[in-house]
Amino acid sequence: MAIFVDQMFGSLGESTSLADLDKGTTAVVGAYVPKYDGTLIGVVIEIASVAATSLVEGVRVELNCTIWKPNLIMFGGQGSGLRTAPGVQLKGTYWTVDQPVKTNQSISGQYIHASGTPVTSYIRVWGIFQV
Domain boundaries along the sequence of the chain: 3-121
With bands split at pLDDT 50, 70 and 90, how would you rate the model's confidence at 90?
A: low
Decide: helix, strand or coil at residue 58: strand
Query: Is-contact 111 11, C-beta < 8 A?
Result: yes
Cα–Cα nearest to 123, from 35, 37, 39, 57:
57
| Residue 83 reports pLDDT greater than 80 | no
| Residue 115 reports pLDDT greater than 90 | no
Mean pLDDT over 36-59 rounds to: 87
| Residue 110 reports pLDDT greater than 70 | yes
* Overall pTM > 0.85: yes
CATH number for the domain running over 3-121: 2.60.120
